[in-house]
Structure 1
Amino acid sequence: MKLTRRHTLALGVTAFAAIKFALPSTARAQLDGGDAYALEEGQVTIHPISHASFVMELPDRVIYVDPVGGAAAYEGMPDADLILITHEHGDHYDAETLATLVGEETRLVTNPAVFEMLGEDMKARATSMANGDSIEVDGLPIEAIPAYNITEERLKYHPKGRDNGYILTTGGKRIYIAGDTEDIPEMRALEDIYIAFVPMNLPYTMTIDQAASAVAEFQPDHVYPYHYRDSDVEAFAEKVAASNASTKVVMGGWYDKA
């Protein structure tokens, strides 16, 4: 973990809730240190920030996902080597926050719509990925997975073909970041997912029943419900458990600091 200027400011800011239903299969890190999961070499540590934003520490880099909420939300976090942006909605993409977090060596990966919104200086460090694209960023394999609505009255929120989810492969493990989506066929067909981040709030994404059904089908080892606002995530966890899936539901402190 890289120690940076933000470590000296407010190390107590990012304290997260205890897991309510299942601890990670590897050791639970300290409350303010994130959730640690073993890789074939090293570990990945997850730091929920808020709603759909989080930080992942890999053995060789730090990744910010959909960072919004201003620089203060990331005080105490190591600086970002890579930033992933799924789509342009304000709870996923905020140009002002992005400008405060991007350093000289930071790389960005975005969907095409966000890429076109970036200023020229940001575009120079960004890669645009469309649904189905696969790239490597400094040796890290990234796949762009579709993210869209399928229910008639929700189609206007996330049309098919515009937004991304992502799969990262690190240390022999696959991590799925769903973005804003319903229980689409592409999600249900996923295999060998170690950690998944799955949204569940209406009217923008899906119901807890849809989310639990999809998780029971693709069976990640661990799943974080995120982007859920007032949805009943405890009921989601119960539905996953009742499906006899081997998935462990992990509760992050997405709304603890609101």
Structure 2
Amino acid sequence: MKLIKYTHACVRLEKEGKVLVIDPGAFSESEEALNGAHAVLVTHEHNDHIDQPAVLAALRQDPKLQIHAPAGVAAALKENGDVAGQVHSVEPGSAFDAAGFSIRTFGGQHAVIHPQIPVVANIGYLVDDNVFHPGDSFVVPDGISVQTLLVPINAPWSKVGEVVDFVISVRAPKAFPVHDGLLNELGRGVVEGHVTRIGARYGTTYSKLAPRDSVEV
């Protein structure tokens, strides 16, 4: 399976001619990522994880394209009646198929940013028992060994120690960055240095990916 990283939280997975896109947000090259996609997964409603105009345009362009998202996101998309049949609500603790990719869901809640900022639903997705995208949370999948971890390395809701502890807790053999759009290179070096060094002690090899870089996983 080929993994292509886009700016910030978006990734594209390609396998046997099928394309799955996770979190095509407004900070990402969402239209490019969605080109030719067969299915889309959205972790939560924040616009850095779903570029709604781009997603709606993709759904209208390809009536076969399917999107899976938490109930609130799905309801907002379904308000556009012409695409309602392509939109599916997802709950944590479920399993389904999306364009030939097997999906399992975890979590349910966005990490707390501040007590005065409402918490929204957040779904973490495990794809083909391999790639795990947690969205905006540090939920650790239970009962499964993740092979490829997508690490939110910087966010308004996290600190470096929590990022490192997440990598340690999941203990995936391979890890790559997501949610890095707010970092400059100096800040990235600080976070990635700790993740690389300490993660290696627990069996995780962390590798940097720039936007549009790809890797086989």
Q: How does the TM-score come out when normalised to structure 2? A: 0.80
The residue aligned with 2:43 is 86
Deviations 1:99-141 (A, max 9, x none): 2323121111111110110122322012211121222235432
Who is 1:68 aligned against? Answer: 25
Relative to structure 1, is the Cα distance of residues 73 and 217 closer, same or farther in structure 2, using a 3 angstrom cutoff?
A: closer
Is 1:122–2:83 an aligned residue pair? yes
| Structure 1 partner of 2:177 | 225
* Alignment coverage as a number of residue pairs: 204
In structure 1, list runs of 5 or more residues that go unmatched.
1-43
- On the 8 A contact 1:209/1:236 being kept in 2, the answer is no
Q: Which structure: larger Rg?
A: 1
The one of 51, 55, 61 equivalent to 2:12 is 55
Superposed, 1:182-221 pairs within 5 Å as 183-184=138-139, 187=140, 189=142, 191-203=144-156, 205-221=157-173
Alignment of 1:1-258 (within 5 A): 44-69=1-26, 74-75=31-32, 78-102=35-59, 103-118=62-77, 119-149=80-110, 153=114, 156=117, 158-159=119-120, 162-169=121-128, 173-181=129-137, 183-184=138-139, 187=140, 189=142, 191-203=144-156, 205-228=157-180, 229-230=182-183, 232-240=187-195, 241-243=197-199, 244-254=201-211
Offset of 1:190 from its aligned partner? Answer: 6.1
Distance 1:135 1:53, change over 3 A: same
The answer for unaligned runs of 5 or more in structure 2 is: none
* CA separation of 1:212 and 1:191: change in aligned 2, threshold 3 A: farther
Contact in 1 for aligned 2:26/2:47 (Cα 8 Å): no
- 1:180, distance to aligned residue in structure 2 (A): 0.7
Conserved 8 A contact 2:26-2:49: no
Shift in alpha-carbon separation, 1:117–1:202, aligned structure 2, 3 A = same
C-alpha separation in 2, matches of 1:133 and 1:110: 12
Secondary structure of the equivalent of 1:176?
Answer: strand
Distance (whole Å) between structure 1 residues aligned to residue 191 and residue 96 of structure 2: 33
Q: 1:234 to 1:157 in 2, by over 3 A?
A: farther
Q: Distance in 1 between matches of 2:55 and 2:86?
A: 12
Counting aligned pairs with the same residue, the percent is 18
TM-fit CA distance, 1:149: 4.9
C-alpha distance in structure 2 between counterparts of 1:223 and 1:246, whole Å: 10
Farther-moved stretch of structure 1 (93-102 vs 132-141): 132-141
Match of 1:8 in 2: none
Runs of 4+ in 1 over 6 A off after TM superposition: none
